[in-house]
Amino acid sequence: MAEKKHVWVDTSKWDLKCFRVRAAVADAISRTLDWALPEVRKKVLENVEAPGSPYPLVTGPRGGRYRQRGPQTNAGTLPVPIVWGQLRRSIMMKRISSQIGVVYSSGRIANYNIYVHYGTRKMRPRPFVEAAGKERRPAVTNRFKYEIQKAARKHGLA
């Protein structure tokens, strides 16, 4: 079987530049995600638990600590008041690939998360994930601009 030999002459250096651009963009996206995922997760956690929770920790008659339940709110305002912390524990982030990452609330831990997020007939929606994403979007965009400039310099494009 004859061996195929391929000779590529890139006299204009166009292919080299394309390769460098692709590498720079991939590098910038990866670095932006490294920064953005914890940032967005932090904001989602802020939306789930306010520093001053309306349900204070109290000591029970046997010495156990539990959260004192108060009147339930259906005002649809953020942050979502914390009761047992199950929804807070369900907030996770996952890096699917070098260029894709997600921040999500796991239904396995808090199966009622969609009812809090989208609302029910008795409770107005409190979109704790969506609101965090919307709020942090300009910051992520700015970070990407900064990272793309840095990557362009690193790959010899600027």
Partner 1 sequence: MIRRNRMFKDVQDILVSLLQSKTTSAPWNRWDIIAGYPNETVFDVFEKPIIFVADPSIEEKIYQQGASQKNYKLNVRIGSWVSIQNGGGEELAIMISELLNLFDDPYTCNRLTFDTQIGNTTYTAKTIKQLGFSIIGIQLDRLISYPEDSQLRQDVNLIAMTNLS
Could you give the CA distance from residue 66 to residue 60 in angstroms, rounded to a whole number? 7
Least CB distance to partner 1 at residue 107 (A): 11
Token representation of residue 94: 């996952």
Nearer to partner 1, 84 or 118 (CB): 118
Q: Does 142 bind partner 1 (CB under 8 A)?
A: no
Least CB distance to partner 1 at residue 104 (A): 12
Helices (H) and strands (E) in the chain, counts: 4, 4
Token representation of residue 131: 């609101």
Span near partner 1 by CB under 8 A; candidates 28-36, 39-47, 96-104, 112-120: 112-120
What DSSP element (H or E) covers 35?
helix 14-48
Could you give the CA distance from residue 83 to residue 89 in angstroms, rounded to a whole number? 12
Nearer to partner 1, 66 or 112 (CB): 112
Q: Does 54 bind partner 1 (CB under 8 A)?
A: no
DSSP helix, strand, coil percent of the chain (3-state; round to 5): 45, 10, 40
User: Which residues within the stretch 68-107 sit at the binding site for partner 1 (CB under 8 A)?
Assistant: 76
Nearer to partner 1, 5 or 122 (CB): 122
Least CB distance to partner 1 at residue 118 (A): 5
Phi/psi at 57 (5° precision) = -75, 125
* Residues found near partner 1 in the complex (CB under 8 A): 76, 114-115, 118-122, 124-125, 134, 137
